[in-house]
Amino acid sequence: MLKLFDSYPDNVKEKLLFLRQLILNTAKDNYDLGKIDETIKWGQASYISPTGSTIRIDRIKKSPSQYAIYFNCKTKLVDTFKELYPDEFVFSGNRAIIFELDDQLPVKELKHCIALALNYHKVKGLPLLGV
Protein backbone atom coordinates (compact mmCIF):
# COMPACT_ATOMS: atom_id res chain seq x y z
CA MET A 1 0.00 0.00 0.00
CA LEU A 2 2.70 2.48 0.93
CA LYS A 3 4.28 1.90 -2.49
CA LEU A 4 1.39 3.87 -3.97
CA PHE A 5 2.68 6.99 -2.25
CA ASP A 6 6.10 6.57 -3.87
CA SER A 7 4.49 7.39 -7.23
CA TYR A 8 3.79 10.98 -6.14
CA PRO A 9 6.17 13.95 -6.24
CA ASP A 10 7.81 14.40 -2.83
CA ASN A 11 5.83 17.54 -1.90
CA VAL A 12 2.51 15.80 -2.61
CA LYS A 13 3.63 12.53 -1.05
CA GLU A 14 4.38 14.33 2.23
CA LYS A 15 0.87 15.86 2.33
CA LEU A 16 -0.90 12.61 1.47
CA LEU A 17 1.09 10.67 4.06
CA PHE A 18 0.08 13.29 6.62
CA LEU A 19 -3.61 12.77 5.69
CA ARG A 20 -3.12 9.00 5.87
CA GLN A 21 -1.67 9.25 9.36
CA LEU A 22 -4.45 11.64 10.42
CA ILE A 23 -7.06 9.12 9.25
CA LEU A 24 -5.34 6.22 11.04
CA ASN A 25 -4.84 8.25 14.24
CA THR A 26 -8.46 9.41 14.20
CA ALA A 27 -9.58 5.82 13.83
CA LYS A 28 -7.34 4.77 16.72
CA ASP A 29 -8.81 7.56 18.89
CA ASN A 30 -12.31 6.18 18.21
CA TYR A 31 -11.90 2.83 19.93
CA ASP A 32 -15.26 1.41 18.89
CA LEU A 33 -14.56 1.62 15.15
CA GLY A 34 -13.02 -1.78 14.70
CA LYS A 35 -10.32 -2.51 12.16
CA ILE A 36 -9.65 0.11 9.48
CA ASP A 37 -9.11 -1.40 6.05
CA GLU A 38 -6.50 0.42 4.00
CA THR A 39 -6.71 -0.41 0.33
CA ILE A 40 -6.58 1.09 -3.14
CA LYS A 41 -9.82 2.07 -4.91
CA TRP A 42 -9.83 3.84 -8.26
CA GLY A 43 -6.07 4.15 -7.96
CA GLN A 44 -6.40 6.12 -4.72
CA ALA A 45 -5.46 5.29 -1.13
CA SER A 46 -8.74 4.35 0.57
CA TYR A 47 -9.80 3.83 4.16
CA ILE A 48 -12.97 2.22 5.53
CA SER A 49 -14.20 1.14 8.94
CA PRO A 50 -16.92 -1.48 9.52
CA THR A 51 -19.33 1.31 10.52
CA GLY A 52 -18.17 3.97 8.10
CA SER A 53 -18.10 5.33 4.62
CA THR A 54 -15.00 5.11 2.45
CA ILE A 55 -12.48 7.95 2.61
CA ARG A 56 -10.01 8.36 -0.28
CA ILE A 57 -7.01 10.66 -0.65
CA ASP A 58 -5.20 11.75 -3.79
CA ARG A 59 -3.57 14.63 -5.58
CA ILE A 60 -5.59 16.56 -8.12
CA LYS A 61 -3.85 15.70 -11.37
CA LYS A 62 -5.20 18.70 -13.30
CA SER A 63 -4.00 21.06 -10.58
CA PRO A 64 -0.50 20.13 -9.37
CA SER A 65 -0.68 22.49 -6.38
CA GLN A 66 -3.77 20.75 -4.93
CA TYR A 67 -4.68 17.51 -3.21
CA ALA A 68 -7.93 16.25 -1.71
CA ILE A 69 -9.72 14.02 0.72
CA TYR A 70 -12.73 12.39 -0.94
CA PHE A 71 -15.97 11.14 0.58
CA ASN A 72 -18.84 9.15 -0.89
CA CYS A 73 -20.97 11.64 -2.82
CA LYS A 74 -24.14 9.65 -2.03
CA THR A 75 -23.81 10.46 1.67
CA LYS A 76 -24.62 13.61 3.67
CA LEU A 77 -21.01 13.95 4.76
CA VAL A 78 -19.74 16.87 2.66
CA ASP A 79 -23.05 18.74 2.95
CA THR A 80 -22.72 18.42 6.73
CA PHE A 81 -19.07 19.55 6.63
CA LYS A 82 -20.12 22.61 4.61
CA GLU A 83 -22.62 23.50 7.30
CA LEU A 84 -20.22 22.90 10.18
CA TYR A 85 -17.08 24.39 8.63
CA PRO A 86 -18.03 26.82 5.84
CA ASP A 87 -14.94 28.97 6.28
CA GLU A 88 -12.36 26.33 7.23
CA PHE A 89 -12.39 24.29 4.02
CA VAL A 90 -12.68 24.54 0.26
CA PHE A 91 -15.16 21.98 -1.06
CA SER A 92 -15.61 20.30 -4.41
CA GLY A 93 -19.31 19.62 -4.84
CA ASN A 94 -20.56 16.98 -2.43
CA ARG A 95 -17.52 14.75 -2.67
CA ALA A 96 -14.28 16.36 -1.50
CA ILE A 97 -12.34 18.82 0.58
CA ILE A 98 -9.60 20.45 -1.47
CA PHE A 99 -6.25 21.63 -0.12
CA GLU A 100 -3.41 23.68 -1.57
CA LEU A 101 0.06 22.29 -0.96
CA ASP A 102 0.97 25.34 1.12
CA ASP A 103 -2.25 25.35 3.20
CA GLN A 104 -2.08 25.18 6.97
CA LEU A 105 -4.63 22.44 7.66
CA PRO A 106 -7.27 22.94 10.34
CA VAL A 107 -6.39 19.59 11.93
CA LYS A 108 -9.03 19.57 14.69
CA GLU A 109 -11.86 20.24 12.23
CA LEU A 110 -10.47 17.78 9.69
CA LYS A 111 -10.23 15.05 12.33
CA HIS A 112 -13.87 15.71 13.19
CA CYS A 113 -14.85 15.26 9.52
CA ILE A 114 -12.82 12.05 9.31
CA ALA A 115 -14.42 10.70 12.50
CA LEU A 116 -17.90 11.42 11.12
CA ALA A 117 -17.05 9.54 7.92
CA LEU A 118 -15.58 6.57 9.80
CA ASN A 119 -18.76 6.42 11.92
CA TYR A 120 -21.19 7.32 9.13
CA HIS A 121 -23.49 4.29 9.34
CA LYS A 122 -23.99 4.92 13.06
CA VAL A 123 -24.93 8.59 12.63
CA LYS A 124 -26.39 8.99 9.15
CA GLY A 125 -29.97 9.21 10.43
CA LEU A 126 -29.24 11.95 12.95
CA PRO A 127 -29.58 15.68 12.21
CA LEU A 128 -26.13 17.06 11.32
CA LEU A 129 -24.86 13.50 11.79
CA GLY A 130 -25.35 13.82 15.55
CA VAL A 131 -23.06 16.80 16.02
- Domains with residue ranges and CATH for the chain: 2-123 (3.90.1150.200)
Q: What is the pLDDT of residues 104-123, one digit of tens each?
A: 999 999 999 999 999 998 88
Q: What is the pLDDT of residues 15-53, one digit of tens each?
A: 999 999 999 999 988 767 778 999 999 899 999 999 999
H-only helix segments in the chain: 2-5, 10-29, 77-84, 107-118, 120-123
How far is it, in rounded angstroms, from Cα 60 to Cα 58?
Answer: 6
Host H or E run for residue 44: strand 44-48
